[in-house]
Structure 1
Amino acid sequence: MTAGGRADRAVDAAGAALLTAQHAIGRAHRLVATAERAAATDEATWQAGPGGRAGTAGDTLTALAAATDQHRQALAALLARTAGGGLTDRPRLALTGALLALTDLPALRRAADHGTGLHPPAATAGYTPGAALDRHVRARDRRCLPGCRRPVPRGGHLDHHTPWPAGPTAAGNPVGYFTTDHRGKHQASGWRHHLAPDGTLTLTTLTGLTTATTPPPY
């Protein structure tokens, strides 16, 4: 075979190989496009379903409301098997570490079903905090003012930061004190106490020394 013949055969073989490669590439493109359409369909279906709505929920209660009955029942069964452990031992939901609310499983279900959310207890009309508000403040503070840090006892005092009735008996006003330090607050003239919305208590002495105590994070 002449050199020209061999060259022609090489060109033909190269053309056939190129055509085969082009067919393979085209088939690969079609397979990828089919897979992408299937993935997009699966993603759209998931996003429109309970899983997607729960996954994109802005808070826990919205996620619970978006979940299916089967998912909620599974969660309730899990909590029941642990005697409600996560809600019995740590009954709170937190934002930025500050106590938002005390709750239990029935209350959490009601809040999810009615979309009411979780909030601190309602204010008490009189001077003495109601039982729910009393529990909330003691759970929030847990310890006394700076320099003491003893646990606020069950019978310890809840003092109105802004004296009642000018200050309400509401979650943002009472402060938990050990009994002797409650008396000291009123008898140490000139000492200043400042209560922040998250329960942080700042104490300033007559000499200008300032110290603060923040409720332990949740």
Structure 2
Amino acid sequence: MSDTDDTIIGTPIGTHVGTQTRPARLTREQSRARTRERLLVSAAVVFTREGYAGASIDRIAEEAGYSKGAMYSNFASKDELFFAMFDFYALGQAEELCRRLDAAPDADAIIATACAWADGLLHEPDLRLLVVDMARLARADPTVAARHTKMFDDEWHQVGSRLVRIFPPGGSPVPVLQLGALVMDIAYGNATQLHAGLTAGDLIGMALRALRDAYGRK
């Protein structure tokens, strides 16, 4: 595979069996975006399998089917790739949770949706294994730390703004940011890694139901 990725995709609508047509070519921007995404997917595989310290640019490029030159044409360093990979998956997973929560019709469905989403993360790249590495690297660079603080604040606020619907109209007893952080922290926390009998969904369900029930008794 070339460093610029394959540039041929799809078959035009209306093509008849037995005819030959020229498939549409990707634009330079589309090709670059596809290459970048494949590198991020491969980075997730290698980082979660080998850890930040054990992963190498060469191994990630090989996993994606590209040369090291293709890697450095998209990411200036291993650190930049690591943070981009983390952002790509963390933001994507939060957006998926928000989409599911938007479709939940009531409080019970909202809680069940959050629990199912958290348990489903077992089938995604396990970012929980990389949270400590991400935090350590961010603390070493104030600019990166500030950017990720804002990213997580925005993510938690978006999730929390959906979760407040578990409470009666009139407001939440918990700030939106903290409510979102609670669910995301449990989902990516260490408890379920260290104890086989615990699931993130169980813990999230317990926490949200306790908050809802306590608020309802006031």
Structure-1-length-normalised TM-score = 0.28
| Higher RCO (CA < 8 A, seq sep 6+) | 2
Structure-2-length-normalised TM-score = 0.28
Relative to total residues, which structure has the larger helix share, 1 or 2? 2
Relative to total residues, which structure has the larger strand share, 1 or 2? 1
Rg larger in structure: 1
